[in-house]
């Protein structure tokens, strides 16, 4: 079963320096048709002005994955970690028992990122941070696991949730089949381009929940960049 979450149906906020769209409801007066999907509770599409960002603030018991679509993000945290994460890179932060961090646009163009939050299998644990480049060429025509809570995904960034974050790029006319299972669910976002998923057209920046199917059959209607969370 597919449930389409079109770009224009997503909740939104504009703080001047930050423009955000929310694939999952974040406030009491938001779109409650866009409820959490198991441990996947946040998927924000953020655009941040040059020089702006989030000052030092805290998290705990949350797995936070940052997928950089455009620009450069500068990260600092109370572990002493510092990073400059560019488009094509992925950052993960396991908040565990508690971590404070700041994130700013360190480039010269608006920063565009997906902020994906997953609840961990269990609370606690030492906080940690890591980042890794994932060149788009390596994802051409196939999904690559970017972050994973499963030991068999040795090349992915580790997280503590029962989920995988995957990325793919497709040329116009390319098709891929991504195996799932009827006991799992997934959330797929079209970062750019447009596609068909199991026969349903999904436009640029749209999201779609995928449940109770054994596979996602995806065809690119134009050059496309995809990000998906496979849960369970």
Q: Tell me, what CATH number does 96's domain have?
A: 2.60.120.10
Report how many domains make up the chain: 1
Mean per-residue pLDDT for 75-81?
97
Residues 6 or more apart from 8 whose CB is under 8 A from it? none
Residue 232 has pLDDT above 90, yes or no: no
Residue 43 has pLDDT above 90, yes or no: yes
Q: Which H or E element spans position 204? A: none
pTM of the model: 0.96
User: Contact 96/60 with Cβ under 8 angstroms?
Assistant: yes
Residues 6 or more apart from 157 whose CB is under 8 A from it? 65, 90, 92, 130, 131, 132, 146, 147, 148
| Residue 28, CA distances (Å) to 6, 10, 74, 168, 207 in order | 20, 14, 31, 34, 21
Question: What is the residue range of 59's domain?
Answer: 2-231
Q: What is the DSSP string of 124-175?
A: ----EEEEEE--GGGGBTS-EEEEESSTT-TTSEE-SSSEEEEEEEE-TT-E
For position 157, what pLDDT does the model report? 98
> Mean pLDDT score of the chain, rounded to an integer?
96
Band of pLDDT at residue 69, cut at 50, 70 and 90: very high
Say whether 57 counts as a known binding-site residue. yes
């423009």: which residue's tokens?
Answer: 19
User: Contact 185/3 with Cβ under 8 angstroms?
Assistant: no
Residue 181 has pLDDT above 90, yes or no: no
Band of pLDDT at residue 71, cut at 50, 70 and 90: very high
Three-state DSSP state, 24: coil
For position 189, what pLDDT does the model report? 98
Residue 11 has pLDDT above 90, yes or no: yes
Residues above pLDDT 70, as percent of the chain: 100
Mean per-residue pLDDT for 67-74?
97
User: Contact 100/108 with Cβ under 8 angstroms?
Assistant: no
Say whether 75 counts as a known binding-site residue. no
For position 95, what pLDDT does the model report? 98
Say whether 59 counts as a known binding-site residue. yes
For position 183, what pLDDT does the model report? 87
Handedness of CA 112, 118, 123, 125 (dihedral sign): negative
Rg (CA), the chain: 17
Say whether 34 counts as a known binding-site residue. no
Band of pLDDT at residue 182, cut at 50, 70 and 90: confident
Mean per-residue pLDDT for 41-52?
98
pLDDT per position as a tens digit, 90-145:
999 999 999 999 999 999 999 999 999 999 999 999 999 999 999 988 999 999 99
Mean per-residue pLDDT for 64-81?
97
Band of pLDDT at residue 58, cut at 50, 70 and 90: very high
Residue 28 has pLDDT above 90, yes or no: no
């Amino acid at each position: 079963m597919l449930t389409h979450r079109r770009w224009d149906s997503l909740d939104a906020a504009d703080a001047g320096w930050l423009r955000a769209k929310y694939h999952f409801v974040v406030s009491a007066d938001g779109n409650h048709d866009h409820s959490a999907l198991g441990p996947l509770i946040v998927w924000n599409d953020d655009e941040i002005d040059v020089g702006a960002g989030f000052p030092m603030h805290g998290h705990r018991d949350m797995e936070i994955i940052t997928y950089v679509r455009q620009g450069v993000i500068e990260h600092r945290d109370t572990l002493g970690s510092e990073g400059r994460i560019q488009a094509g890179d992925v950052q993960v932060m396991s908040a565990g028992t508690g971590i404070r961090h700041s994130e700013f646009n360190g480039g010269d163009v608006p920063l565009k990122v997906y902020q994906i939050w997953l609840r961990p299998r269990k609370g606690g644990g030492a906080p940690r941070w890591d980042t890794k480049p994932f060149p788009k060429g390596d994802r051409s025509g196939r999904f690559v696991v970017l972050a994973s809570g499963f030991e068999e995904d040795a090349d992915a960034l580790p997280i503590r949730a029962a989920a995988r974050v995957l990325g793919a790029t497709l040329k116009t006319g390319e098709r891929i089949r991504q195996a799932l299972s009827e006991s799992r669910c997934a959330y797929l976002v079209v970062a750019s381009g447009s596609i068909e998923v199991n026969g349903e057209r999904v436009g640029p920046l749209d999201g779609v929940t995928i449940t109770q199917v054994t596979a996602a059959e995806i065809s690119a209607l134009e050059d496309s960049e995809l990000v998906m969370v496979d849960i369970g």
